[in-house]
Structure 1
Amino acid sequence: MLTGNREYNEIYEKYKNLVLKIAYTYSGNNYDAAEDIAQDTFLKLYIGFDELKNGNIYAWLYTTTRNAAFNHYKKYRREIPSEDEVLEREIRIQESVEEEYAEKSLEVKRFELHERIFRGLMEKNPRWHEAIVLTYYMNIPQAKVAEMMGIRVEVLHSMLHRARKWIAKTYGAEYEEMKQPD
């Protein structure tokens, strides 16, 4: 949420996740309601910001969000959701679980590929490995890396270029395959 009021924007960025979490908790773990409650809370804050900005914003946000969420929960807890709502909620949960699993699986595959690349790079040329680690993993400036390795910067550039070229040739297809959607 961006407004012309920088101070309000900073407060929004700082507390948006907290307000959503409070709303979610007190609304009976209803994410849709929590989003609405959080939006209403920040709208109220925006409208009354001039009067509230010198007070305890955190306490005001917490209390306002909690009360709105609790009122929502009391109002709707006796409502029996329709079959469509239950099915939609189950589908949303299933999709989020599947997405999370796919994301974790891809993360593991990337980690394993990086491990293979670094092992292969070490076997191929330990100096390339050292140059890559110092330059890209440790983010040491190239002039300092060259000095540490006892070589000129131009030689380091050539070494890094050759190492990247070898990595692309050896592992490029595997990397591209990993980027393809299932």
Structure 2
Amino acid sequence: MSENSLDMDAIYRKYCLPLKKYIISICRNDVLADDIVSETFYKAIVNIDSFRGGNLYAWLCTIAKNTYFNHVKKKENLNVSLDDKEYLEFKSSKSTEDKFMENEEKRELMDQVLKLPEKEQEVIKLRTYMGLSFKEIGDMLHKSENWARVTYYRSKEKLKGMMNYER
């Protein structure tokens, strides 16, 4: 596929924010996410001929995820903390106590998600944070749509059990 057949400006406008949200769900660092997104689009432009059609967003997410993991390896920082920077913003109409409780519940849930196997974590994040379809998740992880659906359901059930056990 040639660079001319794709409007990279339109692609950037369409996928920049969703891609950034995806990377933030992995690294929890706004500044790093910006760097990864920039590098992802650079790699996509340079390697556009390797895109074989299909789901462009899944292809970009794969590049972004690999770019992030390469960054982590380079820094030899394998302990990526999800608490480095708060990702979720709360509406100003909520009381401070409500915000605190909601934040604690989300943090507790994320702690439980991190106890799941890596593939299950990824499916939960892609479905919950990114809103990807099971087909998109399957494509992105080189699995079937049914695998993504079953993995999501089983992971969700595990999380429910883990959350009930913790309380």
- Do the structures match in fold with TM over 0.5? no
- Could you say which structure has the greater relative contact order, defined with CA pairs below 8 angstroms and 6 or more residues apart? 2
Higher relative helix content: 1
TM-score interval, normalised by the smaller of the two chains: 0.3 to 0.5
**TM-score of the superposed pair, with normalisation by structure 1:** 0.36
